[in-house]
């Protein structure tokens, strides 16, 4: 029976830790220059309705390194962009390719695509969740801190798809998470309620210093995500004081690491001194999108 990668809460901790173990192996094999063609002859269809740098490059390069092939499909140049029902696209692509990665707006659309597909579907980002990114983030934490379990995570910024995914991760993995957002920019209430029922150790606050105090991992994202450009000025005003800067880092654990999924708006959600400073592991994190997604594809498609 096929399995999809749509949301972290769909997977168990043991299953996700198995992906981390495979990521570690694949990254080591690549660094040693060893062939690891686990998807030889396989093809991934990549559907993009949102612009991308890291998602497209990491999935496309990842398929190549696994011995397979990736097809870039922009919605504006496919029949999806002309109104073809998702269920029709899903059934046709299931007969052409071995897996689908989609980067789009609607989580419901991704779930419909998966429901009608006979092949695995991977969520490359929606307005609700970004599970591949959080997996890469946690793998980076393991590399730099030794494990993800004993850490205190501080999320400072918008209650967006990344915040939702971190809350899901806290529920699945069982670590302590503090989420600081301005009033009116809280995470999805349904995500919060599901995490609460699962016993997640999550603190919600409107005070960035409270989220950062003693944290071993600090994380943030842009204040205005794709599709929210018209809100930029209003958000800049609402998010004043929610920047990860030197003062916020000083409130955290002295050995803390700083994450950002990129692209970064330096001087807004994160200062230039922090993203370029000794606590930043942002570019290790970006690299690990490649390695984690290879493990996800191999798990689903091999």
Instruction: For residue 29, indicate whether it is catalytic.
Output: no
Q: Which of 7, 261, 279, 291 is catalytic?
A: 261
173 close to 9: Cβ distance less than 8 angstroms: no
102: number of Cβ within 10 Å: 25
Instruction: For residue 103, indicate whether it is catalytic.
Output: yes
What pLDDT does 56 receive? 98
Distance in angstroms (rounded) separating the CA atoms of residues 84 and 86: 6
Q: Are residues 95 and 65 in the same domain?
A: yes
Domain span including residue 268: 133-285
Q: Are residues 15 and 62 in the same domain?
A: yes
- Tokens linked to 87: 């269920």
Instruction: For residue 40, indicate whether it is catalytic.
Output: no
Q: Is the pLDDT of residue 293 over 90?
A: yes
Give the residue, 51 or 56, on which the prediction is more confident: 56
What pLDDT does 78 receive? 84
Q: pTM for the full model?
A: 0.96
Q: Which of 107, 130, 243, 293 is catalytic?
A: 130
In-domain check, residue 274: yes
Instruction: For residue 115, indicate whether it is catalytic.
Output: no
pLDDT digits (tens, 9 = 90+) for 52-83: 999 999 999 999 999 999 999 998 888 887 88
CATH number at residue 154: 3.40.50.1370
Q: Which of 103, 178, 235, 279 is catalytic?
A: 103
Instruction: For residue 95, indicate whether it is catalytic.
Output: no
In-domain check, residue 2: no
In-domain check, residue 258: yes
Q: Which of 127, 137, 221, 253 is catalytic?
A: 221
Binding-site sequence positions for carbamoyl phosphate? 52-55, 79, 103, 130-133, 261-262, 289
Binding-site sequence positions for L-ornithine? 161, 221, 225-226
In sequence order, which ranges of the chain are alpha helices (DSSP H)?
13-31, 54-65, 86-93, 107-116, 131-145, 161-173, 189-197, 208-212, 232-238, 246-251, 272-275, 282-301
Instruction: For residue 130, indicate whether it is catalytic.
Output: yes
Give the residue, 231 or 52, on which the prediction is more confident: 52
Hey, which bits of 214-279 come out as E strands?
217-220, 257-260
Q: Are residues 50 and 167 in the same domain?
A: no
């Amino acid at each position: 029976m096929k399995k999809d990668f749509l949301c972290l809460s769909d997977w168990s901790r043991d299953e996700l830790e198995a992906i981390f173990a495979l990521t570690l192996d694949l990254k080591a094999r690549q660094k040693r220059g060893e062939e690891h063609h686990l998807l030889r002859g396989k093809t991934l269809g990549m559907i993009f309705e949102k612009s991308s740098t890291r998602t497209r490059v990491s999935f496309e390069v990842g398929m190549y390194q696994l011995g397979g092939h990736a097809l870039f499909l922009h919605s504006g140049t496919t029949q999806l962009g002309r109104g073809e029902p998702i269920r029709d696209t899903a059934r046709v692509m299931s007969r052409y390719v071995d897996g689908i990665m989609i980067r789009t707006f609607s989580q419901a659309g991704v779930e419909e695509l998966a429901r009608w597909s006979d092949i695995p579907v991977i969520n490359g980002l929606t307005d609700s969740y970004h599970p591949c990114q959080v997996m890469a983030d946690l793998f980076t934490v393991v590399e730099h801190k030794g494990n993800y379990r004993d850490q205190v995570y501080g999320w400072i910024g918008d209650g967006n798809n990344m915040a939702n995914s971190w809350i899901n991760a806290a529920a699945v993995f069982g670590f302590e998470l503090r989420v600081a957002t301005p009033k009116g920019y809280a995470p999805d209430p349904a995500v919060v309620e599901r995490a609460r029922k699962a016993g997640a150790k999550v603190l919600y606050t409107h005070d960035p210093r409270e989220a950062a105090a003693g944290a071993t991992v600090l994380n943030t994202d842009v204040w205005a995500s794709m599709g929210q450009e018209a809100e930029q000025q209003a958000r800049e005003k609402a998010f004043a004081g929610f920047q990860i800067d030197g003062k916020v880092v000083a409130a955290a654990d002295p050995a803390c690491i700083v994450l950002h999924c990129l692209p970064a708006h330096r001087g807004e959600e994160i200062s230039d001194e922090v993203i370029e400073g000794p606590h930043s592991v942002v570019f290790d994190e970006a690299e690990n999108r490649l390695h984690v997604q290879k493990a996800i594809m191999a798990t689903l498609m091999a």
